[in-house]
Structure 1
Amino acid sequence: MNRFSHMDLRVNSWEQVSLFYDKLLHELGFTITYHSEQWNVFAAQGELPSVPYFAITEDPEHQPNDNLIGFWGKDPAEVDHIAEVVKQHGGTINSGPGFFPISPTYYAVYFEDPCGNKYEMVHRLN
């Protein structure tokens, strides 16, 4: 059973990141939106609250830190694709895509949203 429910995320400026999250989260399967004045919600297929979702709100005082959210890629090609989406829509690639010495098959890209929140997209066999 997947026990993931949701992620509440802060960004400095929704205007600065809206296109980035529209594109990135759609590519990751969060294709249903439930936006309100305070929250921008991207959910997986199905009915809330039983599906995973990202809820993003604006906080001008938000200070990104070293926390990192990791996504699973079905293969290295999907990792490469997400790296391109990140670059095309205002994100920053910090490392990769490529193999990392975590294991012989650890293929990943590390990146940030336009506000500095950190992510990883990874595929590995063992």
Structure 2
Amino acid sequence: MNKFSHIDLTVNSWEQVRPFYENLLHALGFTRTFHSEKWKVFAAEGDLPSVPYFAITEDPDHKPNENLIGFWAHDRAEVDRIAELVKQYGGTIISGPRLFPISPTYYAVYFQDPCGNKYEMVHRLD
């Protein structure tokens, strides 16, 4: 059983990151939205609260840190597609996409959103 429930994320400016998250989260399967004035919620298919969701709130004083959120990719092509999407919608590639010496099949891209929150998209077989 996957115990993942949700991520609550803070950004400096929703308007600054809106295109980035609308496109990235949709590509990752968070296709349903439940937005309020304070929270922008992107959920996977199914009934809340039993499906994973990604909730974003805004704080102009937010300072990103070294935390990193990782996502699984179905294959290397998906890692490459996400890397292109990141660049297209204002994110920054930190490293990759490429093989990393974590394991012989560890193919990943490390990136950040327009506010500096850090992510990884990874495909590996071992």
**What range describes the TM-score normalised by the shorter chain of this pair?**
over 0.9
Measured after TM superposition, the shift of residue 44 of structure 1 is: 0.1
Q: Which runs of 5+ in 2 are unaligned?
A: none
Q: What's 2:56 paired with?
A: 56
Q: What's 1:121 paired with?
A: 121
SS at 2:30 equivalent: coil
The one-letter amino acid paired with 2:16 is Q
CA distance in 2, matches of 1:35, 1:50: 18
Are 2:10 and 1:18 aligned? no
Q: Deviations over 1:24-54 (max 9, x none)?
A: 0000000000000000000000111010000
CA distance in 2, matches of 1:22, 1:73: 18
Q: What's 1:32 paired with?
A: 32
Counting only pairs closer than 5 Å after superposition, residues 23-102 of structure 1 correspond to structure 2 as: 23-102=23-102
CA distance in 2, matches of 1:19, 1:38: 17
SS at 1:7 equivalent: strand
CA distance in 2, matches of 1:61, 1:88: 26
CA distance in 1, matches of 2:36, 2:19: 16
CA distance in 1, matches of 2:4, 2:103: 25
List 4+ stretches of structure 1 deviating above 3 A.
none
TM-score when normalising by structure 2: 0.99
CA distance in 2, matches of 1:37, 1:124: 38
Q: How many residues align?
A: 126
Are 2:22 and 1:5 aligned? no
Q: Percent identity?
A: 78
When the two chains are superposed, the root-mean-square deviation of aligned CA atoms in Å is: 0.3
Measured after TM superposition, the shift of residue 16 of structure 1 is: 0.3
Q: What's 2:103 paired with?
A: 103
The one-letter amino acid paired with 2:79 is V
Measured after TM superposition, the shift of residue 64 of structure 1 is: 0.2
SS at 1:87 equivalent: helix
Q: Which runs of 5+ in 1 are unaligned?
A: none
